[in-house]
Amino acid sequence: MKTAVFTGVGQIQLEEYDIPEVEPDKVLIKVDACAICTWEQRVYKGIKQVEFPFIGGHETVGHIIAMGDRVDKVHWQLHDRVALGVTLACNNCYQCKSGNEQNCEYFNHSKQLEGLPHKGMGGLSSHLLVHPANLFKYKNISVEEATVTEPVSCVLHSVETADVQFGDVVVVIGCGIMGLLHVLLATRKGAVVIVSDTDEKRTALALKMGAAYAVNPKREDLAERVKAITDGLKAQVVFDTTPISAVVEEARKCLANNGRLVLYSAFYPDTPISFSPDWLHKSAVKVLGTANSNARDFVKATRMLSYGIIDVKPFISEVYPVHDIKAAFESACKGDKFRVVVKF
């Protein structure tokens, strides 16, 4: 099998290994495509520290080519098209057993997955040995579109964490792929969405996707604009999808009393911020974190994509064959794409 292996900062190469043998309770997946997430880009650029050699890739889709004897043949068949998810949770800790795999106490991007020659998430491999519990069927869309299942599942978890209600005013800060997915899902929850970004091409796309208002924070004060739009009330929900700690202060100023501030992104660098405890006390706001997704989120995400509830085609910026893996990463790391997809 072909595997794209990080061998150092700025170094990735294709290596050949034996295809893993099918075990009784596992299925063998032929990977069709894997999108390059910001996480892998940070590994490539040396921002995220891992132990090399390392196999990245977690926005992965494929189809079943072999099944073990103990796999349920009623539910699973050869050639089923599947998205892979929740492979990094331990499935044994309190959080996992409570249905919160996204907050697994032993969540590990660098675990050694069965059938792979090196540590890592493994999606940038042509074949994967997977337990059926980590597979989610999809249909009616291309493999490129299906690679967005994992991001959709994470954003779905974020929107549900915020408990967005019909008629809520929702502010989305940042119009990268994650911010725009928040726009798509929040509008389908009946929210009035205000987006904020300095890239006006991306805010224009957000408006096409259903946002009601767009703000360029370089030109106008976001909190004052939100206050004006809402007749002084401000927003019930604010999603900060940026990795910049300083933006959190701007985000909190947009919140109405009893509002919810969701910190969606990982922060690089992780610079501490301060809150007034009296503000928290008097305004009764909630500051929430969200990361990753669970099986429930993946089920919902695959259904939404399969039935066309949201259209993710605009997020497929480029597609590369796996033998051009180096070029794919160089392009993805320019920062001007939504998703670069690698096809096997």
10 and 107 together in one domain: yes
321 and 241 together in one domain: no
User: 3-class DSSP state for residue 211?
Assistant: coil
CATH number of the domain enclosing 92: 3.90.180.10
306 located within any domain: no
271 and 249 together in one domain: yes
- The mean per-residue pLDDT over the stretch 127-140 comes to 98
Can you tell me the distance from the alpha carbon of 94 to that of 161, in angstroms, rounded to the nearest whole number? 19
Can you tell me the distance from the alpha carbon of 337 to that of 13, in angstroms, rounded to the nearest whole number? 22
294 located within any domain: no
124 and 226 together in one domain: no
Q: How many CA atoms lie within 13 A of 4 on its CB side?
A: 30
pLDDT in tens, 102-118: 999 999 989 899 999 99
208 located within any domain: yes
Structure tokens at 223: 């909190």
Q: If you write DSSP's letter for every residue of 60-106 in order, what string do you get?
A: EEEEEEEE-TTS-TTT--TT-EEEE---SS-SSSHHHHTT-GGG-TT
Q: Can you give the pLDDT at residue 265?
A: 95
Angle, CA of 1, 292 and 217, to the nearest 5°: 115
93 and 167 together in one domain: no
Structure tokens at 199: 């890239």
133 and 166 together in one domain: no
Q: Structural domain tally of the chain?
A: 2
Q: Are 341 and 35 in contact (CB under 8 A)?
A: yes
Can you tell me the distance from the alpha carbon of 234 to that of 169, in angstroms, rounded to the nearest whole number? 8
Report whether pLDDT(87) > 90: no
179 and 246 together in one domain: yes
103 and 190 together in one domain: no
141 located within any domain: yes
pLDDT in tens, 167-197: 999 999 999 999 999 999 999 999 999 999 9
Residues 6+ apart with CB under 8 A from 255: 234, 235, 238, 261, 283, 285
pLDDT in tens, 264-276: 999 988 999 988 9
Q: Can you give the pLDDT at residue 275?
A: 86
- The mean per-residue pLDDT over the stretch 198-208 comes to 98
pTM of structure: 0.96
Structure tokens at 227: 């206050």
Give the range of the structural domain holding residue 57, as residue numbers without chain letter.
2-148+312-343
- The mean per-residue pLDDT over the stretch 9-27 comes to 97
300 located within any domain: no
299 located within any domain: no
pLDDT in tens, 283-293: 999 999 999 99
pLDDT category at 86 given cuts 50, 70, 90 is confident
pLDDT category at 230 given cuts 50, 70, 90 is very high
